[in-house]
Amino acid sequence: MPKPIVLVTGGTGFVGSHVISQLLAQNVYTVRAVARSASKLRAIFPDSESDGTAGRRLASSNFEAVEIPSLTSDYTEALKNVQSVIHIASPLYQSGISGEDIFQGAYHGTLHLVQQAIDAGVKKIVITGTFATLYDVNFAAVFGTQSLTEKDYGPAIAETIDLQNPNKAAIYQQSKTAADKKLWEIAHAHPDVDITILLPPAIFGPLVPNYPLTSRASIGTNDIIYQLFLSGPENYPNIPFGHMVDVRDIARAHLAALSASPVPGRNKRLIVAYGTFTWKALADLIRKERPEVADRVPREDAPIVPQGAAPLDTSFAKEILGMDQYIGWEETMLAAVDVLLEFEKSGKNIADPAHDYPSRG
């Protein structure tokens, strides 16, 4: 009996490659990976062979790769015979990307794929959202003491997003928020389709085997941790992120969502997070566990930078996905640091690309 096919977007990305790796290890599904570059998919999953179909490659009977030019491309062929979709791909707020590009990918790209999947008869859709949809771009709620739950939202809607805003991180956050809201309108109009949106905070951790370090973008959101090495001995990075999750855990949550039952009358919007970290604790950990780079992190008496630490209610993810245990922050961060050091050894340009991270104050 053939295995059910799950289509995964963003297969060459940090999170997507982990999701595919875990799916292949699980050996329950045929994985149809979608990305802009089939050659990069072949580099990550090197056992691929051509089946003679334009844009598609096979890696045994359990893996297919489909090359799609953009997030708003036609997925009709890619969705043939697909039972489930995991949508991870999204533009990030790197310098050089326009607000329009971010909005097109994060908002229109998501809605476009979901609608095409529904039209193709797909009944299970899992989407990688972000916990940044829980609050406004001023980060006030993240610095508060009130617990954030899956019922919280930032105020953004598509019509109010300023695509000329120089703060690209804000455009990304607002676009993801607007898409999240619109998705539930679609879900309510199609009650026979089971939609889950996962809301992770900052994602850190190792790369999958064979992941190519072709540029600084290859290190994924571990680049946030890289700022600790680049900020100098006098200062911690002025980046307000304090909540985190290991990439292996968020990948595991995607797989769990595929088999989770529908929850009638309740949106399956799930916060998936370990907890928080601080820049000081991370610097102390590096000094202890990676002493060879201890001189590259801020000194022990550097001024503390505020980071978001509001409580996150992850009980719904525990109930629906069984996410009751997470990899500890120390293991996650050391794995991330090792990725950064491996990247530096690769000789790639550390200044490319720059990221437009949010700051507070």
Q: What is the DSSP letter of 195?
A: E
- Segment 9-35 mean pLDDT: 95
Q: Looking at residue 53, what is its pLDDT?
A: 40
Q: Is residue 43 pLDDT above 60, yes or no? A: yes
The residues that bridge with 126 in the sheet, in sequence order, are 86, 196
| Inter-residue contact 276 to 243 (CB < 8 Å) | yes
Residue, of 168 and 52, whose pLDDT is higher? 168
Confidence category of residue 353, pLDDT binned at 50, 70, 90: low
Residue with token string 């000329």: 164
Residue from 227, 100, 216, 230 nearest 168 by CA: 100
Question: For residue range 72-103, what is the model confidence (pLDDT) as tens digits?
Answer: 999 999 999 999 999 999 987 777 789 999 99
Residue with token string 């893996």: 63
Q: What is the DSSP letter of 219?
A: G
The helix or strand, by DSSP H or E, that contains position 358, with its residue range, turns out to be none
- Segment 293-318 mean pLDDT: 95
Q: Looking at residue 349, what is its pLDDT?
A: 64
Q: Count other C-beta atoms under 10 Å from residue 146's C-beta.
A: 9
Q: What is the DSSP letter of 2?
A: P
Q: Looking at residue 217, what is its pLDDT?
A: 85
Terminal Cα-to-Cα distance of the chain (whole angstroms): 58
Residue from 68, 50, 58, 64 nearest 105 by CA: 68
Token pair for 277:
């970290």
Q: Count other C-beta atoms under 10 Å from residue 98's C-beta.
A: 13
Question: For residue range 213-234, what is the model confidence (pLDDT) as tens digits?
Answer: 888 888 999 999 999 999 888 9
Q: Looking at residue 320, what is its pLDDT?
A: 98
CA distances from 231 to 144, 238, 279, 283, 349 (A): 26, 9, 11, 12, 17
Largest CA distance in the chain: 62
Question: For residue range 123-147, what is the model confidence (pLDDT) as tens digits?
Answer: 999 999 999 999 999 999 999 999 9
- Quick one: residue 120, left, alpha or beta (phi over 0 = left, psi -120 to 50 = alpha)? alpha
| Inter-residue contact 358 to 170 (CB < 8 Å) | yes
CA distances from 357 to 63, 169, 220, 331 (A): 35, 6, 13, 24
Q: Is residue 151 pLDDT above 50, yes or no? A: yes
Q: Looking at residue 177, what is its pLDDT?
A: 98
In CATH terms, the fold of domain 5-206+243-275+311-317 is: Rossmann fold (3.40.50)
CA distances from 37 to 12, 60, 95, 252, 337 (A): 8, 19, 21, 24, 27
Per DSSP, the three-state class of 305 is: coil
Question: For residue range 335-345, what is the model confidence (pLDDT) as tens digits?
Answer: 999 999 999 99
Q: Looking at residue 360, what is its pLDDT?
A: 56
Q: How far apart are CA 227 and CA 294, in angstroms?
A: 14
The residues that bridge with 197 in the sheet, in sequence order, are 127, 269
Percent of the chain with pLDDT over 90: 81
Name 106's Cβ contacts closer than 8 Å, sequence gap at least 6.
90, 91, 172, 175, 176, 179
Work out the angle at residue 357's Cα, subtended by the Cα atoms of residues 351 and 360, and round it to the nearest 5 degrees: 135
The residues that bridge with 244 in the sheet, in sequence order, are 202, 275
Q: Count other C-beta atoms under 10 Å from residue 166's C-beta.
A: 9
The residues that bridge with 63 in the sheet, in sequence order, are 31
